[in-house]
Amino acid sequence: MRTLSPSLIVFFVLITLGLLLPACAPSQPVVPAPVKSAAVEKAKIAVTALEVTGAPIIEGKAVTVNVTAKNDSTVDGTYSAVLKVNGLEKRQGTVEVKAGGSSVTPFEVIFDTAGIYQLSVDNQSKSVSVNGAGLLGQSLALLNSKDGKIVSSELIQSMDSGKVKIDVYKIRYLSDGLEVIGYIFKPADDGRYPTLIYNRPGLYGMYLIGGSEPSSSFEYLASLSSNGYAVIASQIRGNDGGQGQEDFGVKDVNDVLNLIKTVDSMPLIFNPERMGMVGFSMGGTRTYIAMQKTDKIKAAAVVGGTTDRCDQIEKMNAPVLILHGASDSGISVAQVEQLAAKLKDSGKQCELVVYPKGSHLLNENAQDRDARIIAWLNKYLK
């Protein structure tokens, strides 16, 4: 037997122990074990207060919004802050809070309008309601003319609708330089509500708001409001002690359109981005006319309205629900069917419901009529 040399014996031992690799074996890089980094504490900021100085706002002066923030952590924190007024971004800035302390950061707001002031910091927000200088908190700065300005107001009634308490205000507002009577129906709880402009039936003192006609009674308008809407309505010029004279939807339709300016200037009550219109009979006609003159109406419902003034179909962009009685002796079913067909052919959202034995105002079908109106409005405004 051949004896191995001492050097070969050492070589085989090293290979066996894994301490020496053959020259042909690829080398394996040594990967260091990962080192866990120490957790870095993040500032824990909390917005604790938002204060608006100078409220209620005096139109034409700047307003300062102070945000108080607290930092409960052991590190300093800096965060972006965004100030919105009535949902629109107005100012940006930063809030810096030292560890374990609190700070008050002022933001000067030059957009001195009434409404909801909301400041957001690190996905936290605080809001405060600020009234305007006008009646019922109306912001005069948001009015681009005298039209729509409320010159007198009175809380005349608080009604129990069966759902919520409804406050009823009688107002006198400006339209084409005339003082016109109107009404506001709103839930008693403070809030910014989707808006309905209601257009009453009748002409020259007939079917006034608050009268005996069911579809223009206080009870009916309160029922609309009880579904979560702020309702505003005009008696139309020359009625109920107002100035001027009705003219069958020629100039007096401005009394409806100028209510939109009133709505725009009262952001604590009305949400103009969710504004619908409801009209009965002559009020339905005024609704059709208004839809052709403004794009701010987002949904409409018409009961027994004549359609002969609908000569600009292309401008009627709001989804419209048309309810009509087959027994209406003044306005034929063929007339409303023709309008509905034109709207649909033009790609407009329209639904026509004809009641086989329905009268002009559909009071005998009031339950179904009103349920359809609310469902239609809720679909597009909520």
Listed by start position, the domains of the chain span 45-130, 139-381
pLDDT band at 117; cut points 50, 70, 90: confident
The pLDDT assigned to 162 comes to 82
Whether the upstream peptide bond of residue 56 has omega within 30° of 0, thus cis, is yes
The long-range contacts involving 34-42, CB below 8 angstroms and separated by at least 24 positions, are: 41/73, 41/74, 41/75, 42/73, 42/75, 42/77
CATH superfamily of 139-381: Alpha/Beta hydrolase fold, catalytic domain (3.40.50.1820)
Separation CA 366–CA 10 (nearest Å):
108
Q: Identify the pLDDT of residue 198.
A: 98
pLDDT of residue 60: 64
**Interval 78-105 mean pLDDT:** 86
pLDDT at 78: 86
90: region left, alpha or beta (phi > 0 left; psi from -120 to 50 alpha): alpha
pLDDT at 230: 98
CB 354 within 8 A of CB 334: no
Pick the CATH number of 45-130 from 2.60.40.1510, 3.40.190.10, 2.60.40.10, 3.40.220.10: 2.60.40.10
Condensed to tens digits (0 to 9), the pLDDT of residues 184-207 reads 999 999 999 999 999 999 998 899
Q: What is the pLDDT of residue 3?
A: 45
Indicate if the pLDDT at residue 238 is higher than 90. yes
* CA proximity to 336, closest of 360, 315, 371, 317: 360
Domains 45-130 and 139-381 share a fold: no
pLDDT digits (tens, 9 = 90+) for 128-158: 788 888 899 899 888 888 999 999 999 999 9
Element (H, E) at 175: strand 165-175
pLDDT at 5 over 80: no
Q: Which of 370, 378, 323, 371 is nearest to 351 (CA)?
A: 323
In the predicted model, is pLDDT for residue 111 greater than 50? yes
Tell me the pLDDT tens digit for each residue of 27-77: 455 555 554 544 556 677 788 877 777 655 666 667 787 888 888 888 888
Residue 59 is predicted with a pLDDT of 63
For 347, residues 6+ apart whose C-beta sits below 8 A from its C-beta are none
